[in-house]
Amino acid sequence: MKITGIEWGRVSIPLRTPFKTALRTVASVEDIIVKVYTDTDAVGFGEAPPTGVITGDTAEAVCGALEHHLAPAILGQEADDLERLLLRVQSALVHNTSAKAAVDMALWDLYGKKYAIPVYKLLGGSRSRLTTDLTVSVNAPEVMARDAGEAVRRGFDCLKIKVGVDPALDVARLAAVRAAVPADTVLRIDANQAWTPKQAVRILNGMQEKGLNLELVEQPVPAADLEGLRYVTERSDVPVLADEAVFSPADALRILQTRAADLINIKLMKCGGIYNALKIATLAELYGVECMIGCMLEGKVAVNAAAHLACARSVVTKVDLDGPMLCAADPVRGGAVFSGKDIALSDAPGLGVEGVGGVQPIGAAG
């Protein structure tokens, strides 16, 4: 199965409500969809959400990486030769992890299609269902309480609460949310790097003293401040999950070796795809550290790929794959079924995606 062409285009999916974090406010998911063609009928699908504030990848950067580096790296190559091809993707250029992830997942998709096996089974997985949390955007406490109540009515029993905008309000935000949901609702919070280390310890301990019962806190301090991350991990009762601090397997290893965090968040868009995500999962296993599988604000092609990875590795114990549930529409045919908190993988070959509607073509090669 030879790779004969690659196309990319843009799709825009409206959100149910604006998505607000300490880093940004957005009203729609803007994604780059990638299709990799072969000399057979098989087509591999990939997706890259340009998330400049986290990955540094803009839409233009994703398209430039595809056109000038990734397309030349895979065109004319044998899709069968998967590992060599995945390495060509990773070494085609530095950074640009979102564009690499889109091509990486399309290659896994093709390989699974060639051998008529779903990717999660190809990777040795035996579970095919996941339960995701739902994100509540950062807002005034009463708005967040209302949104959390609405999420519980939609069937979610685990909520990820965004905090960190005007940190003085964060304890009040969590108190309002906690009061608005059943006592057994799991609450995890994400500060998206907004706090200083001392501020983080003060806020987290304040939340625990109020009995707000947090499962974990995601990336309390700036990504580059590993000392600060470890400071919080050592002094807070709330388990600390490293998100923006972990892009590559090497980043994960550094955090694991220094015990700078209790948990690691794996996202395909940070690490460049399934190939590197598997390495991070293996490193975490070696250190006895559990992982979350997360996503950017992204559509179903990429979140579906992340779900396949998660189903293949038991070290992934926490699931934050709510991208499709935040969207008001789903242009993707095939792949996993997302229904409330439940994600049910398709047993179709590869990643199971059959098509994406409404894609505006941008570029092609081959």
Residues that bind Mg ion (CB under 5 A): 190, 218, 243
Residues in the chain: 366
The two tokens of residue 233 are: 């991990």
Nearer to Mg ion, 218 or 322 (CB): 218
- Tokens 């999420």 correspond to 151
The two tokens of residue 317 are: 């114990």
Residue nearest to Mg ion (CB): 243
Which of the residues 35, 267, 270, 300 is marked catalytic?
267
- Closest approach, Cβ 192 to Mg ion, in A, equals 6
Distance CA 2, CA 38 (A): 5
DSSP secondary structure letter of residue 98: H
- Closest approach, Cβ 219 to Mg ion, in A, equals 5
User: Residue 342 in contact with residue 51, Cβ under 8 Å?
Assistant: no
Which of the residues 113, 114, 160, 162 is marked catalytic?
162
- Closest approach, Cβ 218 to Mg ion, in A, equals 4
Nearer to Mg ion, 109 or 190 (CB): 190
Nearer to Mg ion, 71 or 101 (CB): 101
Nearer to Mg ion, 104 or 243 (CB): 243
Asked if 162 is an active-site residue, the reply is yes
Residue-wise burial string across 122-146, b where 16 or more C-beta atoms lie within 10 A, e elsewhere = bbebeebebebbbbbbbbebebbbb
Q: Could you give phi then psi for residue 215, rounded to 5 degrees?
A: -75, -40
Distance CA 279, CA 56 (A): 22
Burial class (CB in 10 A: 0-12, 13-18, 19+), 116: exposed
- Closest approach, Cβ 292 to Mg ion, in A, equals 9
- Closest approach, Cβ 61 to Mg ion, in A, equals 21
Asked if 267 is an active-site residue, the reply is yes
> Please, which contacts does 113-116 make with residues 24 or more away whose CB atoms are closer than 8 Å?
113/42, 113/44, 113/349, 113/350, 114/1, 114/40, 114/42, 114/79, 114/80, 115/349, 116/349
Nearer to Mg ion, 29 or 71 (CB): 29
- Closest approach, Cβ 33 to Mg ion, in A, equals 24
- Tokens 């965004």 correspond to 162
Q: Which residues are catalytic?
A: 162, 267
